[in-house]
Amino acid sequence: MKISDLKNKIKNIKLIVLDVDGVLTNGKINMDSKGEEIKVFDVQDGYGLVLFKKAGFKTAILSARSAAAVTARAHDLKIDKVYQDAYPKINAYNCLLRDFQLTDEEVCFIGDDLPDLAVLRRVGLAVGVPNAVKEVHEVAHYVTQNAGGAGAVREVVELILKTQGKWEEILQSL
């Protein structure tokens, strides 16, 4: 995709929607001795979402799985909407559009695996991570340089804020 086409897509974005495993985390599922799931989140990704909200944007999580760690992290970051156990994801995505009263063109979705494809095909800005499956790379408008769970979300947030001319204002407000 040409840079000018990518910038045109980015200019419409009002909401960023995130998959969890493989995007907000590295995709590995860790369990303690009691079988409790442990997730590791990147602090810079989290702060990127804080900055995104500070710039007036909305955030959402859309995950086919459910985990208490996701609920806690979403609460900590003040994520606007969280959809867990959302399979197929497209159903929750349609609810999300209604809830936020947005169009596909106003949504950025970051995904990494096959359950994300239906949503990635619909959104205005489809983003994959380097560790995504081939099919995600084929439909993505943009593939991050940083891996899921290691700065990919922050990279997309900064790309949107800079393209929309809001980055300097955010820096001045810190």
Q: Is pLDDT of 1 > 80? A: no
The pairing of beta strand 58-62 with beta strand 15-18: parallel
pLDDT at 3 (0 to 100):
84
pTM: 0.96
pLDDT, tens only, 17-33:
999 999 999 999 899 99
User: Cα-flanking dihedrals φ and ψ of residue 87, to 5°?
Assistant: -140, 120
Task: Please give the span between the terminal C-alpha atoms of the chain, in angstroms, as a whole number.
Answer: 34
Q: What is the pLDDT of the chain when averaged over all its residues?
A: 96
pLDDT, tens only, 65-119:
999 999 999 999 999 999 999 999 999 999 999 999 999 999 999 999 999 999 9
pLDDT at 167 (0 to 100):
97
CB 87 within 8 A of CB 111: no
Instruction: Round to whole Å and give the CA distance between 4 and 8.
Output: 6
Which residue segments constitute the domains of the chain, with CATH numbers given? 3-173 (3.40.50.1000)
